[in-house]
Amino acid sequence: MPSADEQIDDGLLVCLSAVRLAVTNRIIVDTVRDGMDHDDDRLIESARAELLRLAAEKRDETRRVVEMRSGAVQKWGQPSSSADYRMADADALARRAEVSTGLAERLEAMAGDPVAVRSLADRAHQAALDEFATSVELLAQRMGAHDIPVTQDDRRIRNNRLDELRDDLKELRRQRAER
């Protein structure tokens, strides 16, 4: 069985992925739906708030598990369901509480570390750019010959826009390669 510290480390990896995904989704919604411009401070605050939200969730989980354990230590025999904890489950419940508490502490510490929060926000921003680039690439692939404009001016404008799009995609690829 992994140690409590190893379980906390694993839990932190999962939580950080969840935070990164939540902030990435926030960027996409803010940009696409709300037409908002990029704002580093807003992203950093979003990452910090998400870290603290997960820490609070873990604190709540600790309280629930401690309550379950206090009831379990007074019960002997076979459980009647998977949620019917007994004395035999006391050690496992104590471990769950320890891991949840440790994870909450790590998330809170990270939320208080400006460098860690900025790094998390930057990774979420890069993931959002990757999503946008992938969407644009797929859209460009779906555009076929039937989409060619009718007039010469339309063709020239379309070609100029496609050139700009190619330049943007090259820049995104360059940024992605630098990571």
The tens digit of pLDDT for each residue in 14-32 reads 999 999 999 999 999 998 8
* Per-residue model confidence (pLDDT) at position 19: 97
Asked whether residue 141 is assigned to any structural domain, the reply reads no
pLDDT at residue number 60: 98
For 124-150, write each residue's pLDDT tens digit: 999 998 888 888 777 766 765 445 445
pLDDT single digits (tens) 93-120:
899 999 999 999 999 999 999 999 999 9
Does the residue 22 lie in any domain? yes
Asked if residue 18 is part of any domain, the answer here is yes
Domain of 52, in residue numbers: 4-123
In a domain, 166, yes or no: no
Model pTM greater than 0.85? no
Model confidence band, residue 33 (pLDDT cutoffs 50, 70, 90): confident
Residue 129, domain member (yes or no): no
pLDDT in tens, 49-87: 999 999 999 999 999 999 888 876 776 777 677 665 777
Which residues have CB under 8 Å from 109's CB, separation 6+?
Answer: none
Q: From 11, 39, 50, select the one nearest 125 (Cα to Cα).
A: 39
Task: Give the chain's domain count.
Answer: 1
In this prediction, residue 88 carries a pLDDT of 75
Is there a domain that residue 156 lies in?
Answer: no
Is 169 domain-assigned?
Answer: no
Residue 147 lies in a domain: no
Nearest alpha-carbon partner for 59 in 107, 23, 12, 2? 107
